[in-house]
């Protein structure tokens, strides 16, 4: 039986692994190869050089990278603080209401992110849902909060909310009530229970949620374009510009490689430290 299991396990992994090798790993290798081509070529039949990487450090692209990483970090921290009470409620307090929240949040995910962000533009712009109605009632409006850095962070928090919420709720559900009860009986304060019981035991969920939101936010594009109106240029935007207007594939590839290295090492660090069987609800 064990031998058969091993054979069937291997065989059934083949289709997915094949798809991912052909359309995930292979493209990444092509990007890596393009990044060491001379500037502005469109095929790989050239001698490698590192001029694209030289331009990367010479022309201030690191600033976009820092902006992207900084805003991703800020939104991840805010998301953790915003999602914790709700995830706690979903895992320990809400019972049936948890299902309602889950469905409502999942359904919102099915609406394209740019429609939802565009909705925020309509809500917050001058003459938008808030300002326009306020002025109609009171006679005085306010300046639009759009087109700056904090609104981009707001957009990131909004779009990646579910990606923090669900792993966090799953993580908190893994904290046994007995442990919290025991700590409380022994006289631990609420804060101490949170710090010494909840945080360490919910760590797998925290790690997955924070990683997902950070990684996705670091590579995000639509938030800064639609809400931020070019207040800052994010790294994904620089990559896109290099490919489209710039017609400089090696430069775009070099930028991507840097982003992929940062994000990839974080992702690998995260997923190797988490026991997936435990999170996904192994019953055996």
Partner 1 sequence: MQPSRLVRIALYLYGMLAIAFLYLPLVSVTFASISKARYLTFPIRQYSTVWYGRALESSTVNDIVMTSLKVAVLVTIISVVIGFFGALAFARYQWRFRGLFQKFILLPIFFPQTVLGLALLMWFNSIGVIPSWKTAVVAHLVWISPIATLIIAIRAYSFDPSLEEAARDMGASTWRILSEITLPLLLPGVVSAGLFAFLLSWGNFPLSLFTTGADSTLPEWLYAKMVSGYSPLVPTVGVFSIVASASIVILAFLLPWLVGKVKQNRPIKG
Which residues inside 216-255 make contact with partner 1, applying CB under 8 A? 216, 218-222, 225-226, 236, 239-240, 243, 249, 252-253
Check residue 189 for interaction with partner 1 (CB under 8 A).
no
User: What is the closest distance, in whole angstroms, from the C-beta atom of residue 53 to partner 1 in the complex?
Assistant: 17
CA distance 81 to 210: 11
Q: Near partner 1 by CB under 8 A, which window of 30-38, 58-66, 143-151, 199-207? A: 30-38
CA distance 225 to 143: 20
Q: Is 104 in the site for partner 1 (CB under 8 A)?
A: yes
Per-residue binding string, partner 1, 45-64, x by CB under 8 A, is --------------------
Residue choice 108, 144, 148, 241 for contact with partner 1 (CB under 8 A): 108
Which residues 136-175 are close enough to bind partner 1 by CB under 8 A?
136, 158, 161
Q: How far apart are CA 255 and CA 262, in angstroms?
A: 11
Nearer to partner 1, 117 or 149 (CB): 117
Tokens (6 digits) for 117:
């962000």
Place of tokens 């022309």: 59
Exactly one of 61, 67, 120, 166 binds partner 1 (CB under 8 A); which one? 120
Handedness of CA 175, 177, 179, 184 (dihedral sign): positive
> Residue 54 or residue 103: which is nearer to partner 1 going by CB?
103
Among 38, 41, 46, 133, binds partner 1 (CB under 8 A): 133
Residues in the chain: 284
Which residue intervals of 21-145 are DSSP H helices?
26-35, 51-58, 61-88, 96-109, 113-124, 129-138
Using CB under 8 A, count the residues that bind partner 1.
106
Question: Is the Cβ of residue 57 or residue 269 nearer to partner 1 in the bound state?
Answer: 269
Residue 91 C-alpha from the chain's centroid: 22
DSSP state of 38: P
Is residue 105 involved in binding partner 1 (CB under 8 A)?
A: yes
Cα separation of 250 and 252, whole Å? Answer: 5
């Amino acid at each position: 039986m064990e031998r058969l299991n091993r054979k069937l396990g291997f065989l059934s992994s083949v289709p997915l692994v094949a798809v991912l090798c052909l359309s995930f790993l292979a493209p990444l290798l092509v990007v890596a190869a393009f990044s060491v081509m001379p500037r502005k070529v469109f095929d790989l039949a050239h001698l490698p050089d590192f001029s694209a990487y030289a331009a990367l450090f010479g022309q201030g692209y690191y600033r976009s990278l820092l902006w992207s990483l900084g805003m991703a970090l800020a939104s991840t921290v805010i998301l953790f603080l915003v999602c914790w009470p709700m995830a706690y409620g979903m895992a320990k307090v809400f019972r049936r209401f948890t299902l309602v929240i889950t469905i409502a949040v999942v359904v919102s995910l099915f609406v394209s992110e740019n429609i939802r962000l565009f909705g925020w533009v309509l809500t917050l712009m001058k003459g938008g849902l808030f300002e326009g109605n306020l002025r109609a009632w009171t006679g005085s409006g306010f300046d639009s909060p759009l087109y700056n850095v904090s609104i981009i962070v707001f957009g990131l928090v909004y779009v990646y909310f579910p990606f923090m919420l669900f792993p966090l709720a799953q993580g908190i559900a893994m904290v046994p009530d007995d442990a919290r009860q025991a700590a409380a009986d022994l006289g631990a304060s609420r804060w101490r229970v949170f710090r010494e019981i909840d945080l360490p035991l919910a760590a797998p969920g925290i790690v997955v949620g924070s990683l997902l939101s950070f990684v996705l936010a670091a590579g995000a594009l639509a938030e800064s374009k639609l809400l931020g109106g070019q207040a800052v240029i994010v790294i994904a935007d620089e990559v896109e510009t290099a490919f489209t207007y710039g017609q400089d594939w090696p430069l775009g590839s070099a930028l991507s490689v840097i982003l992929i290295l940062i994000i990839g090492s974080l992702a690998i660090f995260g997923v190797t430290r988490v026991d997936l069987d435990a999170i996904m609800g192994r019953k055996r």
